[in-house]
Amino acid sequence: MKNGIRSCSMLGAAILMVCTGGFAQSPAEALYKAKCQNCHGSDGMTHSGVSQSMKVKPVNDPDVKKLSEPEMIEIVRRGSGRMQPYKGELTDAQIKGAVQYFRSFIK
């Protein structure tokens, strides 16, 4: 009887871990949400008051859409306008991941 209860408990825990894993954020998504979302919006559309006051262009703006991934990475590294530079604060891999996540909003 104890073995049956233990087996069911282990099976339940395993199922729970598998199910919650599907909801986990990627590191790039988590970084974007922590560092970029406040100004660039959760979907890149700059709906917030901060975005509006800083005149941040949305992801669908033609000037933004024409930027290549390497150009965006360089902008994040060195900063642009009121955007702070992230070189030295984030690794190259983190910057690339955040840019790729942002670019996923471009339709």
The three-state (H, E, C) secondary structure of the chain, written as one string: CHHHHHHHHHHHHHHHHHHHHCCCCCHHHHHHHHHCHHHHCCCCCCCCHHHHHHCCCCCCCHHHHCCCHHHHHHHHHHCECCECCCECCECHHHHHHHHHHHHCCCC
- The predicted structure's pLDDT at residue 61: 93
Q: How much of the chain, in percent, has pLDDT values that exceed 70?
A: 79
In this prediction, residues 76-100 reach a mean pLDDT of 96
Q: Indicate the number of domains in the chain.
A: 1
**What span, in angstroms and rounded, lies between the C-alpha atoms of 12 and 100?**
36
Identify whether 99 is part of a domain. yes
Tell whether the model's pLDDT for residue 15 goes beyond 80.
no
Identify whether 21 is part of a domain. no
- The predicted structure's pLDDT at residue 23: 64
- The predicted structure's pLDDT at residue 4: 53
Domain hosting 54: range is 26-103
In this prediction, residues 35-52 reach a mean pLDDT of 89
Name the pTM for this structure.
0.74
